[in-house]
Amino acid sequence: MRAALISPLNARGRAEEVVERISRAILLGLLVDGEQLPTEAEFADQLGVSPMTLREALAILRQQGLVETLRGRNGGSFVRRPEDPPLAPLEERLRSTTVSELRDLADEQLAVSGTAARLAAERASAANVRRLLHLVEQLAAAKGVGARIRADSRFHLEVAMASQSERLTRLEVSLQAELTALLWLPLEPQPVLEDVVAEHHAIAVAIAEEDGERARNLAERHVERNLRRIVEMHLGLRGD
């Protein structure tokens, strides 16, 4: 997950991309509250940008309340993650995203998540399986939008990591950042949480039992169900 976060950006020198990459990592729980970021020189080098670009991005993140910079001997830049993300911007993003765009994202996730689950069933370690089952329990116990986003996304990222494919992991990080927060907007009644927990558990068991085809089929069905949920929420926000 760290490799996916700090790999060089596609376009050099854009502070907005740095802001998006770091804020995405904070939202998904890849960077935890209170964690110290690398030094500016080291972090800029990891991201493939100039120190000036990184300083500009950190200034924006400070304005957003996601990073705090302290001076002095024990100073540095530290993550400040809110317990729950602000909902209004997420609702507006879901409202303004077209059904066609949502379907395109789901099509990509169908390919990525299905393949990752199949490979994870072949390649996952015992530690991967333990983490997957723990993340299922974590989602079941999660209270609030932020906790559910983090537990949900971390499960899928763990599946991708268990596939031992760096490319699939990078793609899954990007997809989770675009979709998962929208899926947990409080716009529908819950038994949804119970349904998602059951689907995650079934995927984890298939991986543990090294059944690649079942893991792939379950992961793909999970994506398809999520697409139906998110389209219904989108249409509800638009009043269609």
Dump pLDDT digits (tens) for 98-116.
999 999 999 999 999 999 9
pLDDT digits (tens, 9 = 90+) for 72-93: 777 889 998 877 788 888 899 8
What 3-state DSSP class applies to 165? Answer: coil
Residue 218 · residue 203 · CB < 8 Å? yes
Residues 110 and 107: their CA atoms lie apart, in Å, by 5
Report the candidate in 151, 148, 110 with the shortest Cα–Cα distance to residue 131: 151
- b vs e for 46-76, b when ≥16 Cβ sit within 10 Å of the residue's Cβ? bbbbeeebbebbbebbeeeebbeeeeeeeee
Q: In which band, very low, low, confident or very high, does the pLDDT at 9 lie, cut at 50, 70 and 90?
A: low
Using a pLDDT cut of 70, give the percent of the chain over it: 92
Q: Tens digits of per-residue pLDDT, 126-161?
A: 999 999 999 999 999 998 888 999 999 999 999 999
What's the confidence (pLDDT) of residue 172?
A: 92
State which H helix or E strand residue 195 sits in.
Answer: helix 192-208
Question: Can you give the pLDDT at residue 94?
Answer: 92
- Residue 64 is predicted with a pLDDT of 86
DSSP-assigned states of every residue in 6-74: HSPPSSTT-HHHHHHHHHHHHHTTSS-TTPBPPPHHHHHHHHTS-HHHHHHHHHHHHHTTSEEEE-STT
Could you read off the pLDDT of 19-62 as tens digits, one per residue? 888 887 887 777 888 899 998 899 888 888 888 999 999 999 99
Supply the pTM of this predicted model: 0.81
pLDDT at 13: 47
